[in-house]
Amino acid sequence: MYLTHLAAALANSSVRTLSQQEELPLLRDHLLRLDHNSRRDRFHGFMDDSFIERYAEKCADDGTTIVAFFENSVVRGAAELHPPDQSPDSLPEIAFSVEASARRRGVGSILFRKLITVARAKGYKSLRITTGAQNEAMRALANKFGAQLVFRHGESTGTIDLTKQDQAELAPTWVDTTLDAARTVANFNRAYWRMWFRMMPGRVRPPERRAG
C-alpha cells in the first residue's frame, strides 16, 4: 500500500538541471517556501527573506549548478553544486534543501545521485558538504554516500571522494525507477485520452499538463 501511494505521489514529478535563466526565480521561490526549521537546517541558522533573495541571486551569477526536483511544475527540492573558486579550500561544495511536503519520499537520495553524476561530468574528484549539527537527515544522507563528517564549531563538515564512489550506490533506486515509470504511465494516459477525444468531436478536451 505504501509503495502504491509513493508511486502515485511521484507521478507528476521530475528532476532536471535548471538553466541559468531559471535559477534565480525558481531557486529563490523554493527557498522562500522553506519553513523555519528547514531554513535553519539549510543555512545552519534562520535566515530572513532578504538574505534568501540575495543568496539566490548570487547562485544565479556565480556558476552554481542547481538540480531541481519538480512536483506539478513547482520546485520542491534543490541540490546545489557550487564551483570550487567559491570555496576557501578550492573544493566544490554541495548543499540540499527539500520542502516539508516532499520529504520521506526519497527526494534527497534522488537529488544526491543526480548531483554526483553532474559533478563527475565536470571532472570533479571530491566534494565538500557542510550541514548543521541538528540536521540529522542530511548527516545520514551524506554518510550514505561516503562523506566522512567531522563536528566542529556547531556544524558537521566532510568530503566525498568521487573516485571511490561505488557504482552500485549510484544506480537507480526503486524510487528513481518508480518516478520514471510513473511519468511513463502518465504520458501514456495523456496520449490515450488525446487520441480518444480526437475520435469524439464536440467533447471538451482534457487540460494539457504543463512541462516541469
212 belongs to a structural domain: no
211 belongs to a structural domain: no
120 belongs to a structural domain: yes
Find the domain containing 39 and state its range. Answer: 2-159+168-199
145 belongs to a structural domain: yes
90 belongs to a structural domain: yes
15 belongs to a structural domain: yes
Our CA angle for 113, 114, 117, nearest 5°, is 90
Helix (H) or strand (E) holding 174: helix 174-199
Average pLDDT over residues 149-167: 77
Q: pTM (2 decimals)?
A: 0.73
pLDDT digits (tens, 9 = 90+) for 172-211: 444 454 455 444 444 444 554 455 455 555 554 555 555 5
- Rg of the chain, C-alpha, whole Å: 19
Residue pair 175/106 in contact by the 8 Å Cβ criterion: yes
209 belongs to a structural domain: no
CB atoms within 10 A of CB 42: 23
pLDDT of 165 > 70? The answer is: no
206 belongs to a structural domain: no
The total number of structural domains that make up the chain: 1
- Say which CATH number the domain at 73 has: 3.40.630.30
Check residues 4 and 165 and name the one with the higher pLDDT: 165
Q: What's the CA gap between 208 and 78, in Å, rounded?
A: 26
**Percent of the chain residues past pLDDT 90, beyond the cut:** 46
Cα 184–chain centre separation: 20
> What pLDDT, on a 0 to 100 scale, did the predictor assign at position 146?
84
Check residues 160 and 131 and name the one with the higher pLDDT: 160
Q: What's the CA gap between 147 and 107, in Å, rounded?
A: 18
Average pLDDT over residues 145-157: 78
What is the per-residue DSSP string for 74-125?
A: EEEEEEEEE-GGGSTTS--EEEEEE-GGG-SSSHHHHHHHHHHHHHHHTT--
